[in-house]
Chain A
Amino acid sequence: MWNTMLMGLRNLSRQLGRTILTLCALGTGAFLLVFVVAMNEGTYADMTEMATSTWNGQMQVLHADYHDSPSMFEAVEKPDDIMAKLEADPEVLAATARIEAAGLFSVENRTTGGALTGVIPEREKKVSTLANTVKEGTFLGKTKDPEAWPIVIGDGLARRLEVGIGGEVVYMGQAADGSTAAELFEVVGLIDSGIDEMDASMALIRLEHAQELFVLGTRAHRVVARTESAYTVDRIKKRVDIPAPLVLSTWEELMPEVATGIEEDRKGGGIIVFVIMLMVMLGTVNTLMMSVFERTKEFGVMKALGTPRWQIISMIVWEGVWLAVLGVGLGVALGAVLTLYLNGIGIQISDQPFEFGGMSISTIHPANTILGTVIYPSILIIASILGAIWPAWRASNLDPVAALREL
């Protein structure tokens, strides 16, 4: 066994030029495989990160009926308890509570519909990146008029209302007891989240002000949590016990369009992976086939000397193993290192950022994953080795007399 292993290696070195060419072909294939998968997975990770960390969080606690038909009345009774419960989990970084209401925003004779959200500023900054996109002013800081409540509005909404920092905005909507909720706010900050839809309609106020305005007591509509990774949410969901009628939902459940979009795209990528694998495998088979044909006389001599059949098979399969391991190993190493490097700096594609579910992505960070950097290359190696069996079988089947007569 070990003899045939070394013989395989020695045989490869006899035709060094060809071996190097084959190794290069294998390496290029493996490199492509690793890098294509890394680009895809990196994009998925960026998309997931945008979809979750921008505003929605990786997990949310809602009243069971709120997700399908948001209404003022389906509230989370004790948001403080829920936040504490979530934050007690080691993989949850932070949690915050929100109140949501639609209504009219008015400045002088200009009125437009919008979405008002009550937030806890200190907590919100740890949960959503949107809270950190205040381009002017403060995130619900102090007002000039000590009587007025602060409001932060999207820059699109500000343009529509023609209002800036320090301006007054009247909100009118409906409170939880059915009464008219009306309040005068002072604009203390403008948000530019980069998501036009949100910037054109969203306004944020402090949670305690929202609770008073909408007569909600200590209730809230949504508890949003940020977790260490978007991919471990199912694990956390199993650990954290949330009492009915509240429901803990993961981002995949809250935004199925993002999760299924990624899944569909990954399936499409699988075809490319398969084609690359097939090419690499055929390359190995081809090299070994040529090598076997060239060495017909050699195998004839070996057989005539009484070399057992398994030894010939073993020797050629070992040639395949060496080629596959060295070639793929080289390619994977190159691919993984390049991925690691680009993951740090990102690839700018800002000329034509592409839209996905309302998010526009302008930078891709390729990412190494177990699937792309370990599992796929392993399959590639195994497939190449399996591909070596056929030439080996042919060589072991040669009739020594005919083989010797050939040259």
Chain B
Amino acid sequence: MRYAKLITVALLAAIAMPMAAMAQEKTIEKKVDIKELSKKLDELYRSESSKAVMTMQIVTPNYERTLKMEMTTKGEENTLIRILSPRKEKGISTLKRGNEMWNYLPKVKKVVRVPPSMMMSSWMGSDVTNDDLVRDSSWEDDYTVKQVPAEAGEFCFDYTPKESAAVTWSRVHTCFDAKLELPKRQEFYDEKGRKVRQMKFDRYRKVDGRVIPTRISVIPLSEDKKGNKTVMTYEAMSFDVEVPDETFSMANLRRGK
């Protein structure tokens, strides 16, 4: 008879657990369309074409500086970034075409190709890598997604790269704001499962007809980058503007303006 209590508890648990699980699944089904959110993440700042002016504040224990730049994109393939200020670096440009990348240095009037081995290096001393700028992997197509428990008001997913995808992370934990259905934060894990980078999205504003987080903070978590932070803020943005193909030509890169 002394087992009666135990058996009762076990039975209750056996009944209650699937019920709880069902209840949870129901709420998820109701509110979340994983595919839709991944697509949104892919197209957050993308359109057929776009033009944006943004500032990049780079904070390190040794210096702090702010770059202002203009970014022009067309499709997923083409990106051109021109630094507007500070004066010393005005005109430094980065062109990305497909998987290739070049920097233009107005001071010496030369184009420097960024070799594949340098893709994980920092872009202009920030915590954003060349790869971050060039990468055209898709959250929707290149990752398998799994919903994971989240705090109230958030949906969280684990993005694990598919084997075919050329992605440097082993896992990207992404949380969306439940109401806005826009990204709130992302945590990047390296191949050894260490959390190496954090990204935060905030200042949701309506820009040229769509609501986007206008501020992205990148915080590296590795020991040698302690105290580093890069904050990108969109000052102005317009989508689906007229951008000629010539914008992404080598000749235009060399023009520096």
Interface residues of A (CB under 8 A from B): 69, 72-73, 104, 106, 109-113, 170, 172, 174, 176-180, 182-184
Contact = CB atoms under 8 A, between A and B. Distances in A.
A176 B64 CA distance: 11
B98 to A, nearest CB: 15
A112 B103 CA distance: 14
A174 B125 contact: yes
Contacts of B107: 182-183
Nearest to A71: B62
Given A69-B224, A112-B115, A178 B65 contact: yes
Contacts of A112: 115
Chain B interface size range: 20 to 34
Interface in B44-78: 58, 60, 62-65
Contacts, number: 59
B10 interface: no
A182 B108 contact: yes
Contacts of B164: none
17 contacts: A104-B115, A111-B113, A113-B118, A170-B105, A172-B103, A174-B125, A176-B62, A177-B65, A178-B63, A178-B64, A178-B65, A179-B125, A180-B105, A180-B125, A182-B92, A182-B105, A184-B110
B114 interface: yes
B58 A178 contact: yes
Given A113-B117, A170-B112, A179-B88, 19 more contacts: A72-B62, A104-B112, A104-B118, A106-B112, A110-B113, A111-B112, A170-B108, A172-B103, A172-B105, A174-B125, A178-B60, A178-B125, A179-B65, A179-B86, A180-B124, A182-B107, A182-B108, A183-B108, A184-B110
B89 interface: yes
Chain A's interface: helix, strand, loop or mixed, by majority?
Answer: strand
B115 A172 contact: no
B133 to A, nearest CB: 15
A384 B150 CA distance: 84
Nearest to A110: B113
Given A172-B103, A178-B60, A184 B108 contact: yes
